[in-house]
Amino acid sequence: MKYVDEFRDPAKAKALMVEIGKISDRLADKLGRPVYIMEVCGGHTHTIFRYGIDNMLPDSIELVHGPGCPVCVLPMGRVDDCVAIAERPEVIFTTFGDAMRVPGSKKSLLQAKADGADVRMVYSPLDALSLARKNPDREVVFFALGFETTMPSTAMTVLKAEAEGIRNFSLFCNHITIIPTIKAVLDSPGLMLDGFLGPGHVSMVIGNAQYDFIAEHYRRPVVVAGFEPLDILQSIWMVLKQLDAGEARIENQYNRVVPEDGCAPALEAITKVFELREFFEWRGLGSIDHSGVKLVDAYAAYDAEVKFTVRSIAIADPKSCQCGEVLKGVIKPNQCKVFGTACNPETPLGALMVSSEGACAAYYRFGQKKATMDAKAGRELEEVGA
């Protein structure tokens, strides 16, 4: 299958592994510890686990799973707001599937649905607009979430609604931007990171220039990576080569999809419809300046936060939650005290266990349940005292 099989070639994987091992062994020797590379994007985490790449890499390199999964960083307070809107009898609340299971302080959207709220799963914001068209006597709200990858389709949907004069449609906007995320990670105390795999599909929209500060100010290499397993391996190799040469640059491994300057029509739509919020709350990471977007005043008619009174109370994460530390890569999922026990895919305490791209869900599903860790992690667990 074109664009798929070529990037899953096991022979090339073997060859790359050898080259990776040569450099990472040398670097780890110099550093006195493994080389730490973070993949920001949840889609990368998913690929890494699905193909068993984490097991294939040598011990001298460790992948740290970053906070690039928009469902994973949904704070409980925002879920409560969604539930409140969904429980209004005139509302049809539409959302992507994963978001339905994220726990709020009292219930998730899925539980609200079971209790009678009209919550429906959609695959695209256009599906939500279609529902608004078909149900003129109901208010259709779309739970807009995602990084810059999904912002263009949301923006286009708002523009379409405006063009068609559809008034019974609005967004509950939880779109977030990637740069403050990465900055929050880089600024975390106690974090050891040598380089990044950059988010491939976000970059497809925003281009690569926005990552320059990571190289210039924080002196870390960034390789924007694709989502097939060879993309990941090649990108890791490219990061290692930079580290070996003492360089810190932004490189684009995913150049078959990512244009250097991003996608102009997508950026145009986003700029027309959205503006940055002053600050926005993230699960596990607290409040981050200029990290969320909202609809501009001109499109306030499509803003569910304006249409419906929303309590917007920040709810603290449960005490046992270590989501923040996992999101920043400070600990691995299986080092969280409640991983696999109180927090598991059936009864998730935090969003990382809910989303199919969350590090915890990936660990649980593809990798290591608490009882069956490999020796390396087992040693670390002993140290943490879990």
Q: Which residue has the tokens 């684009």?
A: 252
Closest separation between CB of residue 60 and another protein, Å? Answer: 17
CB 350 within 8 A of CB 89: no
Q: Phi and psi for 344 in degrees, rounded to 5?
A: -145, 170
Closest CB to another protein among 54 and 303? 54
Pairing of strands 279-282, 286-289: antiparallel
- Stretch binding another protein (CB under 8 A), from 29-37, 50-58, 82-90, 157-165: 50-58
Q: Does 231 bind another protein (CB under 8 A)?
A: no
Closest separation between CB of residue 14 and another protein, Å? Answer: 6
Binding to another protein (CB under 8 A): which residues in 343-362? 345-346, 356
DSSP 274: E
User: Residue 84 and residue 101: Cα distance in Å, rounded?
Assistant: 15
Closest CB to another protein among 26 and 133? 133
How many angstroms separate the Cα of 239 from the Cα of each of 145, 170, 223, 363? 30, 42, 6, 24
Closest CB to another protein among 185 and 361? 361
Taking residue 313's Cβ as centre, other Cβ atoms within 10 Å add up to 10
CB 3 within 8 A of CB 254: no
Q: Phi and psi for 174 in degrees, rounded to 5?
A: -125, 30
Binding to another protein (CB under 8 A): which residues in 160-219? 201
Q: Does 138 bind another protein (CB under 8 A)?
A: no
Closest CB to another protein among 95 and 208? 95
Helices (H) and strands (E) in the chain, counts: 16, 13
User: Residue 179 and residue 192: Cα distance in Å, rounded?
Assistant: 19
The residue within the footprint of another protein, chosen from 249, 365, 381, 386 (CB under 8 A), is 365
Closest CB to another protein among 29 and 374? 374
Closest separation between CB of residue 99 and another protein, Å? Answer: 9
Q: Does 238 bind another protein (CB under 8 A)?
A: no
The residue within the footprint of another protein, chosen from 13, 79, 326, 336 (CB under 8 A), is 13
Q: Does 229 bind another protein (CB under 8 A)?
A: yes
DSSP 251: E
- Stretch binding another protein (CB under 8 A), from 32-40, 147-155, 303-311, 315-323: 147-155
Closest separation between CB of residue 48 and another protein, Å? Answer: 9
Return the axis-axis angle of helices 151-164 and 125-134, rounded to nearest 10°. Answer: 20
Closest separation between CB of residue 49 and another protein, Å? Answer: 6
Q: Which of 143, 164, 174, 126 is nearest to 274 (CA)?
A: 174
The residue within the footprint of another protein, chosen from 98, 118, 231, 281 (CB under 8 A), is 98
Q: Does 18 bind another protein (CB under 8 A)?
A: no
Q: Where do the H-state alpha helices sit in the chain?
A: 10-31, 42-50, 53-56, 76-86, 109-114, 125-134, 151-164, 178-186, 200-206, 212-216, 229-244, 264-273, 304-307, 323-327, 359-366, 375-384
Binding to another protein (CB under 8 A): which residues in 100-129? 101, 121, 123, 127
Helix (H, G, I), strand (E, B) or coil at 264: helix
Please give the residue ranges that form the binding site for another protein (CB under 8 A).
1, 4, 8, 10, 13-14, 43, 49-53, 55-56, 96-98, 101, 121, 123, 127, 146-147, 149-150, 201, 229, 345-346, 356, 364-367, 372
